[in-house]
């Protein structure tokens, strides 16, 4: 198996944005190509041939033989010089057709290959030579049939998973979903497992034999340490949404993505199952001339930042007002939320910061950040006046959900709109907004109108988005793209839907963040993000792109990645050599973020 690819900040990273598409769009691009007279089977052959080339180089034995940094040892040489082995799992659609042709090509170049068919009737095997008609009764497409026929004519060895699966169930004495039999002699102990069961055609949760086959591939690959390569999309993952039904999909090390990059590989579960994604483009695509436009853009790196002018002062970099950190009667309060936002806004380089939080937290705040100014959250007159002076306001982090908090939220939002200020709404601010919409409060419509002219950024996670849309969290999670669009329709403004592969909707464009990690799933990370957004927005010396919402999300994610990939310069006392200790995702704290954000800001400045 491949180890997780390290992520880097700056020059070494591939930095170009990548266009993302859903399954229907990929079908449309294919159809457009066929309408120009190109053959669908030729495309399948081309796809399989190109994927075969990748698989040959990805094969762990071959890779080590061509890696100049890893000279071959005698035992490794013997390993390399033996025949590589591939086990290709094929379904009945065109994805399976790709699999049959890959099996054929690998066998042609001397690999030992076994095909395992999943969900294919016995009658569909051994297809007659003259059978070039349309789709057959088993669901096989004509292209997949042709592919199968070519492989079988070359005496490709195949096994029906159902036969192998049935006997294993019999051995267990009962029908069970938990199929596997690690030492089954009929299954080739392969170097590479190739998953061609489902591609973009998956329409529902895999059940029965498909479910067992997916479990079996994952199990065998884990047992043997084989490399798992998914054809187009890991089977079980919905290419358009990134959803995996019941947490069951092929756990790929590498996904060879055909024709166009699928949206679902980069958000939600996609990131856990797709492994490294390699493009196999096949069809020329030009976004300016093609009718099919991408649904989103994958951003892998932040925009470089311009250096500051020597002749500048703190006023050149804006004034941020953080409104949050309340202490609702009897509770310990949420001062930390405002402190984290403030520290993060400062780390981006905002010129001045004032925090309107509960007085109980002023001492703590000033101890950790003597450079911030403070104001009592409940000093309605004072805060409203300050709103007029500042450049950006972030409101809601630890604001509280009681009626008193709701009142000040309404009051401050009105003041912000009265003075035409840029605003970031997060956490309890979103909670109040959802409540106001439920009660048909006029403020929601006013905010929507306001967002046509002024910058309004709203940053829910899925739970908050569910509240805002009055839906279940599952319904948000099953289609995050739709959810963020519905949020924008209902409230106006620019949005971040936070989580793995955070989505950003800004000026009607959708972006997916390729950075960030599961270590960031810890309390306070959202407060950090709202601080980064406000801090960047305040710095008017930066270009619109450099201080955009998507830029803030990327800087936040890059800082999180930097923390988990950093190496300490610890020295081993016995040997005197440097030990490289990786800081992992578990235990990453929001309070670690401001230092990393500062570092990312420095690395991004050209
Ligand atoms: N010539 C071309 O166009 C090229 C295509 N290419 C390749 O084709 C792939 C797309 O092929 P595809 O459209 O045949 O879909 P694919 O994913 O193979 O199979 C889906 C089949 O499974 C079924 N099904 C769905 N869900 C199910 C479930 N849970 N459990 C059971 N069955 C289920 C569904 O039928 P249904 O039952 O929904 O009617 C359908 O029959 C694409 O990813 C790429 O690899 C490339 O070669 C380039 C050239
Ligand atoms: N698995 C993950 N991958 C990438 N980013 C993540 C992941 N989990 C959380 N994050 C990021 O961390 C932040 C968490 O925000 P949020 O849930 O609002 O935290 P809190 O409410 O505790 O402040 C978001 O920006 C989110 O995108």
Q: Is 498 in the pocket of ligand 2 (CB under 6 A)?
A: yes
Within the chain, which residue ranges are assigned CATH 3.40.1190.20? 314-576+584-604
Query: Which neighbouring-strand residues pair with 194?
Result: 88, 229
pLDDT value of residue 383: 98
Atom 13 (ligand 1): residue with closest C-alpha?
201
Higher pLDDT, 338 or 289: 338
CB burial of residue 80 (10 Å; 0-12, 13-18, 19+): middle
Q: CB-side exposure of 229: number of CA atoms within 13 Å?
A: 30
Using 50, 70 and 90 to split pLDDT, how confident is the model at 178? low
Q: Is 501 annotated as a binding residue?
A: yes
The C-alpha atoms of residue 219 and residue 250 are separated, in whole angstroms, by 10
Question: Is 526 annotated to bind ligand?
Answer: yes
Burial of 366 (0-12, 13-18, 19+ CB in 10 A): middle
Nearest ligand 2 atom to the CA of 528 is 23
Residues in the chain: 606
Q: Is 576 annotated as a binding residue?
A: no
272 lines ligand 2 (CB under 6 A): no
Distance 127 CA to ligand 1 centre (A): 20
Decide which of 3.40.50.2020, 3.30.365.10, 1.10.760.10, 3.40.50.10260 is the CATH code for 23-286. Answer: 3.40.50.10260
Q: What is the predicted pLDDT for the residue at 187?
A: 79
80 confidence band (pLDDT: 50, 70, 90)? low
Residue 1 has pLDDT above 60, yes or no: no
Q: Residue 394 is inside which H or E element, if any?
A: strand 392-395
The response to whether residue 201 sits with its C-beta less than 6 Å from ligand 1 reads: yes
Query: Sign of the C-alpha dihedral, residues 475, 477, 481, 487?
Result: positive
pLDDT at residue number 328: 83
Give distance in angstroms: CA of 27 to centre of ligand 1: 11
Q: In the predicted model, what is the mean pLDDT of residues 102-129?
A: 82
Out of 146-155, 284-293, 325-334, 424-433, least confident range = 325-334
Q: In whole angstroms, how far apart are CA 68 and each of 56, 62, 72? A: 17, 12, 9
Q: Which CATH number fits domain 314-576+584-604: 3.20.20.70, 3.40.1190.20, 1.10.357.10, 3.40.640.10?
A: 3.40.1190.20
Q: 526 alpha carbon to ligand 2 midpoint, in Å?
A: 6
Instruction: Please give the pLDDT value at position 44.
Output: 98
Residue 520 confidence (pLDDT) above 50: yes
The answer to whether the CB of 521 is under 6 A from ligand 2 is yes
Residue with the smallest CA separation from ligand 2 atom 16 is 526
Contacts of 207 (CB under 8 A, 6+ apart): none
Instruction: Kindly give the number of the ligand 2 atom that is closest to the alpha carbon of 498.
Output: 27
- Range scoring the smallest mean pLDDT among 117-121, 539-543, 572-576: 572-576
The model's confidence at residue 426, banded by pLDDT at 50, 70 and 90, is very high
238 pLDDT more than 90: yes
pLDDT in tens, 329-370: 767 789 999 999 999 999 999 999 999 999 999 999 999 999
Q: Which pLDDT belongs to residue 353?
A: 98
Hey, whose CA ends up nearest to atom 24 of ligand 1? 202
Name the closest ligand to CA 533.
2
- In short, whether 524's Cβ falls inside 6 Å of ligand 2 is yes
Ligand 2 proximity of 561 Cβ (cutoff 6 Å): no
Residue among 502, 515, 584, 585 to mutate when testing ligand 2 (max atoms within 8 A of CB): 502
Task: Tell the residue nearest (CA) to atom 8 of ligand 2.
Answer: 521
Q: How confident is the model at residue 452 (pLDDT cuts 50, 70, 90)?
A: very high
Q: Classify 121 as helix, strand or coil.
A: coil
As a whole number of angstroms, the distance between CA 241 and CA 225 comes to 29
Q: Is 500 annotated as a binding residue?
A: yes
Of all protein residues, the one whose alpha carbon is nearest to atom 18 of ligand 2 is: 526
Please state, in angstroms and rounded to a whole number, the distance separating the CA atoms of residues 591 and 570: 22
Question: Is 337 part of any known ligand binding site?
Answer: yes
Q: What is the pLDDT of residues 553-601, one digit of tens each?
A: 999 999 999 998 765 556 667 777 665 555 678 889 999 999 999 999 9
Percentage with pLDDT > 90 across the chain: 77
Ligand 2 centre to CA of 523 (Å) is 8
Q: Nearest 5 degrees, angle CA 598-CA 581-CA 10?
A: 35
164 CB within 6 A, ligand 1: no
**Ligand 2 in reach of 504 Cβ (< 6 A):** no
Check if 206 has its Cβ closer than 6 Å to any atom of ligand 1: yes
Quote the pLDDT of residue 125. Answer: 54
Q: What is the pLDDT of residues 404-417, one digit of tens each?
A: 999 999 999 999 99
Least confident of 61-70, 418-427, 555-564: 61-70
| CA 111 from centre of chain | 34
Q: Taking 70 as the threshold, does the pLDDT of residue 130 lie above it? A: no
pLDDT at 240 exceeding the cut of 80:
yes
Residue whose C-alpha is closest to residue 296's, from 513, 451, 547: 513
Overall average pLDDT of the 459-467 stretch: 98
**Region 495-513 average pLDDT:** 97
CA angle 424-430-433, nearest 5°?
A: 110
Q: Where in the chain is the domain with CATH 3.40.50.10260?
A: 23-286
If we measure between CA atoms, which residue out of 281, 110, 274, 89 comes closest to residue 192? 89
Closest by CA position to 525, among listed 595, 588, 605: 588
The whole-angstrom separation of Cα 20 and Cα 1 is 27
Q: Mean pLDDT in the chain?
A: 89
Q: Is residue 181 very low, low, confident or very high in pLDDT (cuts 50, 70, 90)?
A: low
Q: Is the pLDDT of residue 65 over 70?
A: no
Q: Does pLDDT of 537 surpass 90? A: yes
Q: Is the CB of 336 under 6 A from ligand 2?
A: no
């Amino acid at each position: 198996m491949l180890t997780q690819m390290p992520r880097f900040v700056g020059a070494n990273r591939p930095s170009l944005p990548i266009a993302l598409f859903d399954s229907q769009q990929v079908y449309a691009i294919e159809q457009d190509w066929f309408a120009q007279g190109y053959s669908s089977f030729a495309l399948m052959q081309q796809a399989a041939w190109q994927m075969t080339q990748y698989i040959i180089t990805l094969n762990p034995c071959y890779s080590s033989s061509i890696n100049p940094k890893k000279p071959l040892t005698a035992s490794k040489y013997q390993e390399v010089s033996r025949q590589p082995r591939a086990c290709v799992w094929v379904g009945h659609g065109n994805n399976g057709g790709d699999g049959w042709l890959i099996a054929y090509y690998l066998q042609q170049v001397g690999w030992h290959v076994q095909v395992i068919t999943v969900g294919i009737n016995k009658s569909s095997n051994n297809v007659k030579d003259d059978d070039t008609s349309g789709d057959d009764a088993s669901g096989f497409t004509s292209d997949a049939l042709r592919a199968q026929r070519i492989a079988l004519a070359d005496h490709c060895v195949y096994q029906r998973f159902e036969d192998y699966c049935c006997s294993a169930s019999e051995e267990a004495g009962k029908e069970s979903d938990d199929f596997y039999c690690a030492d089954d002699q009929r299954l080739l102990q392969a170097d590479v497992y190739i998953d061609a069961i489902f591609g973009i055609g998956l329409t529902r949760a895999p059940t029965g034999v498909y479910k067992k086959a997916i479990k079996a591939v994952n199990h065998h690959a884990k047992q043997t340490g084989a490399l798992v390569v998914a054809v187009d999309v890991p089977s079980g993952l919905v290419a358009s949404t990134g959803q995996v039904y019941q947490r069951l999909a092929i756990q790929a090390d590498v996904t060879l993505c055909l024709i166009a990059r699928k949206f679902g590989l980069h958000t939600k579960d996609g990131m856990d199952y797709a492994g490294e994604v390699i493009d196999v483009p096949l069809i020329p695509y030009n976004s300016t001339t093609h009718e099919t436009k991408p649904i989103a853009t994958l951003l892998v790196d932040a925009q470089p930042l311009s250096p500051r002018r020597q002749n500048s002062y703190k006023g050149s970099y804006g004034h941020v007002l953080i409104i949050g950190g309340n202490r609702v009667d009897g509770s310990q309060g949420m001062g930390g939320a405002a402190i984290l936002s403030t520290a993060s806004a400062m780390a981006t380089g905002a010129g001045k910061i004032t925090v309107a939080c509960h007085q109980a937290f002023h001492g703590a705040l000033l101890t950790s950040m003597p450079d911030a100014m403070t104001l009592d959250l409940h000093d309605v007159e004072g805060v409203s006046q300050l709103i007029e002076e500042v450049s950006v306001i972030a409101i809601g982090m630890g604001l509280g959900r009681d009626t008193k908090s709701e009142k000040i939220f309404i009051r401050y939002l009105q003041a912000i709109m009265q003075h035409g200020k840029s605003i970031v709404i997060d956490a309890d601010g979103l909670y109040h907004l959802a409540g106001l919409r439920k009660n048909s409060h006029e403020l929601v419509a006013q905010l929507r109108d306001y967002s046509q002219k002024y910058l309004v950024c709203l940053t829910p996670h899925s739970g908050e988005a569910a509240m805002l849309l009055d839906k279940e969290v599952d319904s948000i999670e099953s289609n995050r793209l739709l959810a963020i669009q519905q949020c924008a329709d209902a409230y106006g403004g620019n949005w971040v839907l936070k989580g793995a592969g955070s989505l950003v909707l800004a000026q009607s464009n959708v972006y997916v963040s390729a950075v960030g990690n599961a270590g960031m799933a810890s309390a306070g990370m959202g407060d950090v993000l709202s601080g980064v957004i406000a801090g960047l927005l305040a710095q008017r010396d930066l270009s619109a792109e450099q201080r955009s919402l998507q830029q803030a999300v990327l800087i936040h994610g890059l800082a999180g990645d930097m923390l988990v990939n950093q190496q300490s310069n610890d020295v081993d006392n016995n040997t005197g050599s440097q030990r490289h200790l990786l800081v992992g995702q578990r235990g990453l704290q929001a309070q670690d973020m401001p230092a990393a954000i500062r570092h990312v800001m420095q690395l991004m400045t050209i």
